[in-house]
Amino acid sequence: ERAVSQSMMFFYCAGRRMRLGDACEEDLQALLKATAANAAGALSLGELGSFEVESYPLFHNGALVCLGWETT
């Protein structure tokens, strides 16, 4: 295993969290293990689609955005 970056900011889709339920913890742990990064982050609205019924957006439930940066 090798670290992608020493530090990473993660934005995890709230819809993904809702869809996976408790399994989202395993999802995040796998990501942390794969990157070996020090992590910080937040939930996001992730991928939004067209507005459909009664002006509610479609949630695609899959976005996971990672931003690596070097600290000095």
Give me the pLDDT at residue 55, please. Answer: 66
Give me the pLDDT at residue 56, please. Answer: 67
Structure tokens at 19: 């869809």
Give me the pLDDT at residue 4, please. Answer: 63
Give me the pLDDT at residue 26, please. Answer: 94
pLDDT in tens, 17-52: 888 899 999 998 998 888 888 888 988 876 666 666
Q: Please state the three-class secondary structure of 2-61 as a single string.
A: CCCCCEEEEEEEHHHHHHHCCHHHHHHHHHHHHHCCEEEEEEECCCEEEECHHHCEEECC
Give me the pLDDT at residue 22, please. Answer: 92
Average pLDDT over residues 8-13: 88
2: CB partners within 8 A, 6+ apart: 36
Give the bridge partners for 65, in sequence order: 11
